[in-house]
Amino acid sequence: MTIDWRYTIEQDLGILSVAGYLGPEAVHRFGGAIGWVVARGTGPVILNLTGLRGWSAEGQMAITEAAHRLAEGGRSLELAAIPADGSLVPAGDCPDIPVHCDLTAALTAHGRGSSTPGEGQQEWRTDGWPA
């Protein structure tokens, strides 16, 4: 089982939404999504996990690695709607990863009220992501 993803940027904020199960089989695809994010955006990134059914220890490590990769470029990673089966426990040397209860709360923390597409928004997604 793998994941599908959609990356949206609007002004200085990126939202990477992930759906499926972030397990060992999906880590490589998630890393590719993070590469896409690194290459195409600036500013903080909200990792929207609303569509994630769960994650493994390998999936959690992939998220902490993503936080490191983004921090190397001067960007931060925040989580929205972590799976109910546990919280992320990053390694001791991991950058701070704020956790929001849902995407609306994460957007509100950045002065945005909704995830409604705005002018100047760009979006990329995997073929499996619903249109």
Angle at 111 (CA atoms; ends 61, 64), nearest 5 degrees: 5
CA distances from 118 to 9, 56, 87 (A): 10, 34, 31
pLDDT: is 27 or 89 the higher one?
Answer: 27
On average, the pLDDT of the chain sits at 88
Q: Please state which of the ranges 1-5, 29-33, 39-43, 97-101 shows the lowest mean pLDDT.
A: 1-5
Which domains are present in the chain? Answer: 3-117 (3.30.750.24)
Q: What is the pLDDT of residue 91?
A: 60
Label residue 17 by pLDDT band (50, 70, 90).
very high
Contacts of 100 (CB under 8 A, 6+ apart): 46, 78, 79, 80, 81, 106, 109
pTM (2 decimals)?
A: 0.90
Q: What is the pLDDT of residue 72?
A: 95
Q: Residue 87 pLDDT more than 90?
A: no
Label residue 1 by pLDDT band (50, 70, 90).
low
How many residues are recorded in the chain? 131
Most confident of 6-20, 86-100, 115-129: 6-20
